[in-house]
Structure 1
């Protein structure tokens, strides 16, 4: 049996994700700052560390944006990793044995971050909805 209930006034909408261009701008500048910081610390000789740090950045940016922003976020992070963290520095290249895995890792991080944010928002919205019991 279906029982209709009045929803109390306390229900709020799920927050909107940030606009895709803003997320991409943050990905570009954030990647540049992160790779620059790793270079100053002398940690760019191990590209695995740079990939892990950029994956965390992609996941955090994924939590702010829409699913549509994930591929661009991953490509921007990969491009800055490829240009500044891989020798020869300043040259964009494609290594068939390495770069597809890097792009897939960054894309997975961005998509996982977005999925986690959407699930958290949906759960929070569900918890905010309280049935009206008629006592007020």
Structure 2
């Protein structure tokens, strides 16, 4: 048997994603700070570790951003890693055996973070919809 109920107290919407320029600003500043910190701690000789840390940053930013912000987020993180984390330091270079994989890893992290964020927000909004029981 189907029982009809009114939904009460309104439905809170899924949180609005952050604006793309804000995501890109946080990505650049965060990547710059993380690569600088890894350099101070002596971890830049292992670029795989730096790539993992920047991928986590891209994924976390993806959880708050839109899909359109993912390519720029990946590019900004890659630029900071390329310029500050690899030799020659301070120069933008392209290593055909390494950089496409790095960019793909950062882009995948940003996309996976965005998908995860959208699903988590949608599930939370779905759970907030509760039936309204009128007093008898």
The two structures share one fold, judged by TM-score above 0.5: yes
Compared with structure 1, are the counterparts of its residues 40 and 124 closer, same or farther at alpha carbon in structure 2 (3 Å cutoff)?
same
Q: TM-score, normalised by structure 2?
A: 0.94
Distance 1:5 1:21 in 2: 42
Distance 1:94 1:51 in 2: 16
Distance 1:3 1:73 in 2: 48
Q: In the alignment, is the contact (CA less than 8 A) between 1:31 and 1:80 conserved in 2?
A: yes
Distance 1:122 1:2 in 2: 25
Which structure 2 residues correspond to residues 1-136 of structure 1 after superposition, within 5 A?
5-135=5-135
Could you tell me how far 1:20 is from its partner in structure 2?
Answer: 0.4
- What SS is found at the alignment partner of 1:38? helix
Unaligned runs of 5+ in 1: none
1:10-31: per-residue Cα shift (whole Å, max 9, x none)?
Answer: 5211110110000000000000
1:40-72: per-residue Cα shift (whole Å, max 9, x none)?
Answer: 001101100100000001011111111110110
Q: TM-score, normalised by structure 1?
A: 0.94
Q: In the alignment, is the contact (CA less than 8 A) between 1:10 and 1:130 conserved in 2?
A: no
Q: In the alignment, is the contact (CA less than 8 A) between 1:59 and 1:114 conserved in 2?
A: yes
Q: In the alignment, is the contact (CA less than 8 A) between 1:17 and 1:65 conserved in 2?
A: yes
